[in-house]
Amino acid sequence: MANNNLSMKKFLLSSSSSLSLLSLLLLILITLSFKLSLIDCRNYEHSAAELSLTNQVVIQQRDCYPNETPIFVHTAASTSGKYFNRRQVIRRTWAREAYKYKMRILFVIGVPRDLSIERSLKAEADKNHDILQFNFIEDYYNLTLKAISLLKWSYRHCSNSPYMVKTDDDVVLNMPMLYQLVRQRKIPSGLTGLVMTTPANRENGHKWHMPEHLYPKDSYEFLAGFSYLLSMDKLKKFLKTIITYPGPILDIDDLFLTGIVADYGKIRRNNSFRFKFFCGTDVCTMETSLAMHACPSAKNSEYMYRFWKNADRLSCYRHFRLSRSYRRRRPRRSIDESSSSTSSITTISADQMIANYTDYLIDNHQLIGFKFRQP
Ligand SMILES: *[C@@H]1O[C@H](CO)[C@@H](O)[C@H](O)[C@H]1NC(C)=O
Ligand SMILES: *[C@@H]1O[C@H](CO)[C@@H](O)[C@H](O)[C@H]1NC(C)=O
């Protein structure tokens, strides 16, 4: 009887495990075909009907104040998981400084496929006053619609701003530096960001695949989409170019808008080394960069918080001072063993420290057009 029971159990176990194996296989098959159908769904270009949705605002926000720089952050219409976490971290870090620098953060979303979360998106928007929603389905291949929407929105609601910024949600912006550059009008007219040149992607099924009949040239030049700036004096021209552009409205936003459209409308692209595609790990990264993408952090928003918190001006000065005094200390020690060298570290004045640090940055070609303030 006991034996029978055992074999029965074994049988049940093995059959259930083969069953679960079968369901696993089925699941994989379903996911695969779903993925394939998603790729099939991609149209590569937008219709006139889709384009008209870029005028339709679902969740609205106030106009910009005169001279306020809007910073548009592409994020997804979900109320949990990484997109929500990133919004929260941005609100706790660089967005928190925005107001005092006459900047304003607006998270830009589309309409979620799952309409049941629309209510919580609305609640999040009411609470933070920083969400703009447009009336097209949220999807990676609708990012061109998103970018066009925010250009149009800026034209209608931020006409007295000097610049606008487009950024992704895995980016850290150096707000004090942006403020200095904007205030001193140091940013050239047109588009500014990290200029990229890449061959046109002809690999079927690739995320960035581009069919030859839609884009016959062999390569693109454009600004990396993680972050770029547009001076408002070119906004009207930019929008006009989009409307009159005779070719297909392609679904890869950065290369279409900052590459193809900018070329067609003769809107200048300016390269800036302050836009970092991979943000560094040392505490001085923040001091020398304007936009830092994929910080060690990008996947985990808590790291992003720590990066921002640790990369403050003072840590950088301190880091710099220590490494300088360390280098200076060594030879001295061999000459005069008895003197206490630790006192020489602590007696450097703050002014001297800043002067040394500024020299260091100039030596490394990292300080052009930016004046440091006292910490
Ligand atoms: C983009 O948005 C349009 C309009 O809402 C929608 O019909 C389309 O399916 C979306 N595209 C993708 C790839 O999801
Ligand atoms: C911007 O780019 C243009 C041409 O690409 C160049 O002539 C100009 O000097 C640049 N301006 C600045 C301020 O870098």
Confidence of residue 328 (pLDDT cuts 50, 70, 90): very low
Per-residue confidence (pLDDT) for residue 71, from 0 to 100: 98
Compute, in angstroms, the gap from residue 293 CA to the centroid of ligand 1.
Answer: 27
How much is the average pLDDT of 218-245? 96
Confidence of residue 277 (pLDDT cuts 50, 70, 90): confident
How much is the average pLDDT of 141-153? 98
Compute, in angstroms, the gap from residue 139 CA to the centroid of ligand 1.
Answer: 7
Burial of 39 (0-12, 13-18, 19+ CB in 10 A): middle
> What mean pLDDT, rounded, does the chain reach?
80
Confidence of residue 28 (pLDDT cuts 50, 70, 90): low
Ligand 2 pocket test target in 268, 269, 274, 368 with most atoms within 8 Å of CB: 268
How crowded is residue 45: how many other Cβ atoms within 10 Å of its Cβ?
15
Per-residue confidence (pLDDT) for residue 353, from 0 to 100: 53
With a 6 Å cutoff on the Cβ, whether 188 touches ligand 2 is yes
Which DSSP state fits 248?
Answer: -
Of the candidate ranges 144-148, 302-306, 345-349, the one whose mean pLDDT is the lowest: 345-349
Alpha-carbon dihedral sign for residues 186, 192, 193, 194: negative
CA of 140, nearest ligand number? 1
Tokens describing residue 184: 């001193």
Tokens describing residue 230: 């547009």
Side-chain-side CA neighbours of residue 294 (13 Å):
6
Find the residues whose C-beta lies inside 6 A of ligand 1: 41-42, 50, 53, 136-137, 139, 141-142
Is the confidence at residue 342, as pLDDT, over 70?
Answer: no
Report how far residue 91's alpha carbon sits from residue 105's, in angstroms, rounded to the nearest whole number.
Answer: 9
Per-residue confidence (pLDDT) for residue 268, from 0 to 100: 96
Report how far residue 152's alpha carbon sits from residue 166's, in angstroms, rounded to the nearest whole number.
Answer: 13
Confidence of residue 327 (pLDDT cuts 50, 70, 90): very low
Report how far residue 292's alpha carbon sits from residue 284's, in angstroms, rounded to the nearest whole number.
Answer: 12
Of the candidate ranges 16-25, 56-65, 220-229, 239-248, the one whose mean pLDDT is the lowest: 16-25
Are 286 and 312 a contacting pair, CB within 8 Å?
yes
Per-residue confidence (pLDDT) for residue 362, from 0 to 100: 46
Compute, in angstroms, the gap from residue 77 CA to the centroid of ligand 2.
Answer: 37
Compute, in angstroms, the gap from residue 8 CA to the centroid of ligand 1.
Answer: 52
Q: Closest residue (by CA) to atom 14 of ligand 1?
A: 139
- Distances in Å between the alpha carbon of 374 and those of 175, 313, 314, 317? 16, 9, 10, 11
Which residues are 228's β-sheet partners? 166, 193
Are 108 and 75 a contacting pair, CB within 8 Å?
yes
Higher pLDDT, 20 or 57: 57
Tokens describing residue 22: 């079968």
Of the candidate ranges 148-152, 181-185, 226-230, 303-307, the one whose mean pLDDT is the lowest: 303-307
Report how far residue 46's alpha carbon sits from residue 24's, in angstroms, rounded to the nearest whole number.
Answer: 37
Hey, which of 17-21, 174-178, 303-307 has the most confident mean pLDDT? 174-178
Are 238 and 261 a contacting pair, CB within 8 Å?
yes
pTM: 0.77
All residues at 6 or more sequence positions from 121 whose CB lies less than 8 Å from its CB, including other chains: 59, 77, 79, 109, 112, 131, 133
- Give residue 318's identity as a one-letter amino acid code: R
Report how far residue 22's alpha carbon sits from residue 233's, in angstroms, rounded to the nearest whole number.
Answer: 61
All residues at 6 or more sequence positions from 105 whose CB lies less than 8 Å from its CB, including other chains: 71, 73, 90, 91, 95, 98, 130
Domain locations in the chain as residue ranges: 48-308
Pick the CATH number of 48-308 from 3.90.550, 1.10.10, 2.60.40, 2.60.120: 3.90.550
Report how far residue 90's alpha carbon sits from residue 169's, in angstroms, rounded to the nearest whole number.
Answer: 8
With a 6 Å cutoff on the Cβ, whether 35 touches ligand 2 is no
- Distances in Å between the alpha carbon of 246 and those of 214, 243, 366? 12, 8, 41
All residues at 6 or more sequence positions from 54 whose CB lies less than 8 Å from its CB, including other chains: 134, 136, 145, 148, 149, 152
How much is the average pLDDT of 365-372? 37
Ligand 1 pocket test target in 50, 140, 143, 209 with most atoms within 8 Å of CB: 50
Per-residue confidence (pLDDT) for residue 304, from 0 to 100: 75
All residues at 6 or more sequence positions from 77 whose CB lies less than 8 Å from its CB, including other chains: 109, 110, 111, 112, 117, 121, 133, 138
Ligand 2 atom at minimum distance from 272 CA: 14
Tokens describing residue 89: 């971290």
How much is the average pLDDT of 229-243? 97
Tokens describing residue 164: 């606008």
CA of 368, nearest ligand number? 2
Confidence of residue 289 (pLDDT cuts 50, 70, 90): confident
Q: Closest residue (by CA) to atom 7 of ligand 2?
A: 270
Confidence of residue 148 (pLDDT cuts 50, 70, 90): very high
Alpha-carbon dihedral sign for residues 126, 102, 96, 287: positive
Per-residue confidence (pLDDT) for residue 302, from 0 to 100: 72
Confidence of residue 97 (pLDDT cuts 50, 70, 90): confident
Per-residue confidence (pLDDT) for residue 100, from 0 to 100: 87
With a 6 Å cutoff on the Cβ, whether 189 touches ligand 2 is no
Compute, in angstroms, the gap from residue 266 CA to the centroid of ligand 2.
Answer: 13
Ligand 1 pocket test target in 35, 134, 142 with most atoms within 8 Å of CB: 142
Tokens describing residue 317: 């000065």
Burial of 341 (0-12, 13-18, 19+ CB in 10 A): middle
